[in-house]
């Protein structure tokens, strides 16, 4: 990993950069040496202590304290290096002014940010359609799942043409592969690729499914738990807000129900917030939104606490790997 990082830095930032062993790091307590590998990075006529986690990353507040201690002992500013880093983690580290690199596209040294922009842009692809985003949830929640057009059509209650387009869209993005099955050799059975390798790309192409919000006195039958309430139910966050619900905007359009569009009604405790989604928010009959859609709801937020909890949720699901040395 370190050799790859050195090659990346030399190619894109400083051709004379070097990474060597950091002897002073051995003066730190053994607990630090069990959690990190340390190197000295010579970059652009400056020296830094490069820290590579051996175990999973801890919470950012505790991480900052450890990096500060390492900086005092080594006498150099510290840069965190971990190649497996979600967009939520990257955003949180920048907000907390923690210098870091993922060795692929980001090198952030507070207060300067160096980004290999063309690499980031080349990874970006058009946003997924509502049908494609709805379909990919099933594959993410069951990595061994195999589905053809007919099965997707029945499961998500869309036409076979829409199912075919959604599957092809995911295949064209490189998120799904397929094998040919059936007696006629014409049926494509789709399965997801290595999730931990492609999850960040899927997330990059996904967006919040909310089309609009309304406020209702009576919660519709098809509405399920959503928003911050769902986040708290699935993580360690504390729920201190009003409960939010979600339902498919098409299902809401079939209802004869009074509603308001002014959130002031919510503050008066007379109404409930109802998110109207571009696809059905519940899968497999659950009374709460699925975990992937939950991540999509909050992925562009600025709350570091939420970012950490979403990272942990993704790790529990196996969508991202724990950093390895």
The helix (H) or strand (E) run that includes residue 134 is helix 130-141
- Residues 28 and 162: their CA atoms lie apart, in Å, by 59
Which pLDDT does position 246 carry in this prediction?
97
269 torsion bin: left (phi>0), alpha (psi -120 to 50), beta (else)? left
CB 135 within 8 A of CB 163: yes
pTM of the model: 0.62
Tokens of residue 85, six digits? 């880093």
pLDDT single digits (tens) 174-216: 999 999 987 777 799 999 988 988 999 999 999 999 999 999 9
If you classify domain 130-204 with CATH, what class do you get? mainly alpha
Which pLDDT does position 119 carry in this prediction?
43
Domain ranges of the chain: 2-122, 130-204, 210-317
User: What 3-state class would DSSP assign to 257?
Assistant: coil
User: What 3-state class would DSSP assign to 168?
Assistant: helix
| Pairing assessment for the beta strands 100-101 and 106-109 based on DSSP bridges | antiparallel
pLDDT single digits (tens) 86-119: 777 888 888 888 998 888 778 888 876 666 544 4
Which pLDDT does position 118 carry in this prediction?
44
Tokens of residue 156, six digits? 């998500």
- Residues 301 and 258: their CA atoms lie apart, in Å, by 31
185 torsion bin: left (phi>0), alpha (psi -120 to 50), beta (else)? left
Parts of the chain with a pLDDT under 70: 1, 112-125, 265-269, 322-325
Residues 6+ apart with CB under 8 A from 22: 38, 39, 40, 49, 50, 74
pLDDT single digits (tens) 141-152: 999 999 999 999
CB 209 within 8 A of CB 233: no
Nearest to 81 by CA among 115, 57, 65, 117: 57
**β-bridge mates for residue 92, sequence order:** none
Which pLDDT does position 207 carry in this prediction?
94
């Amino acid at each position: 990993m370190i050799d790859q990082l050195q090659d990346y830095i030399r190619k894109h930032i400083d051709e004379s950069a070097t990474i060597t062993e950091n002897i002073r790091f051995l003066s730190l307590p053994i607990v630090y040496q069990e959690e990190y590998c340390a190197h000295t990075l010579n970059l652009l006529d400056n020296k830094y202590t490069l820290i590579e986690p051996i175990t999973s990353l801890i919470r950012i507040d505790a991480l900052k304290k450890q990096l500060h201690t390492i900086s005092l002992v080594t006498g150099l500013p510290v840069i965190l290096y971990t190649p497996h880093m979600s967009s939520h983690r990257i955003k949180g580290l920048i907000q907390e002014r923690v210098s870091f690199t993922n060795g692929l596209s980001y090198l952030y040294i507070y207060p300067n940010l160096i980004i290999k922009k063309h690499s980031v842009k080349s990874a970006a692809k058009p946003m997924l359609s509502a049908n494609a985003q709805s379909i990919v949830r099933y594959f993410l929640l069951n990595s061994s799942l195999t589905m053809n057009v007919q099965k997707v059509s029945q499961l998500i209650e869309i036409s076979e043409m829409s199912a075919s387009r959604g599957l092809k869209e995911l295949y064209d993005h490189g998120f799904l592969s397929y094998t040919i099955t059936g007696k006629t050799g014409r049926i494509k059975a789709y399965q997801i690729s290595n999730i931990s390798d492609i999850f960040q790309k899927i997330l990059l192409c996904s967006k919040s499914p909310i089309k609009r919000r309304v406020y209702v006195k009576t919660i519709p039958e098809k509405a399920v738990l959503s928003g911050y309430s769902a986040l708290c139910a699935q993580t360690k966050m504390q729920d201190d807000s009003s409960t939010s619900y979600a339902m498919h905007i098409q299902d809401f359009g079939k209802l004869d129900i009074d509603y308001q569009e002014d959130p002031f009604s919510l503050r008066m405790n007379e109404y409930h917030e109802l998110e109207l989604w571009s696809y059905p928010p519940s899968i497999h009959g659950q009374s709460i939104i699925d975990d992937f859609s939950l991540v999509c709801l909050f992925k562009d937020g600025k709350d570091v606490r939420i970012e950490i909890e979403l990272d942990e949720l993704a790790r529990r699901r196996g969508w991202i790997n724990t950093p390895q040395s």
